[in-house]
Amino acid sequence: MIGLFTRPAAFFILITMIVAVFGQQAADPFSDKELASTYGFIALTFTFIGSGRYGLDSLLKFDDH
């Protein structure tokens, strides 16, 4: 919420969503996997872009922006 350790947190959420989609919901139709897939793509985005200019990571120089 405040942008502290955004990339590591997003990475662990991404791993959780991958397990949810391909492990727990493997036999389910895509309509049941859609929410976990969406959360996974959002986490993937935050893993690459980080918290942005106004996040606490950027202010404390944990992020490379």
Render each residue's pLDDT in the chain as its tens digit; 65 residues.
Answer: 688 889 999 999 999 999 999 999 889 898 889 999 999 999 999 999 988 877 888 778 765 65
Q: What is the pLDDT of residue 54?
A: 79
Give the predicted TM-score (pTM) of the model: 0.82
Give exposure, 5-15, as e/b (b: 16+ Cβ within 10 Å): bbbeebbebbe
Domain positions in the chain: 6-59
Q: How far is CA 40 from CA 17, 25, 26, 29, 30, in A?
A: 5, 14, 15, 17, 14
With vertex at residue 39, the alpha carbon angle to CA 62 and CA 16, rounded to the nearest 5 degrees, is 75
Q: What is the pLDDT of residue 51?
A: 84
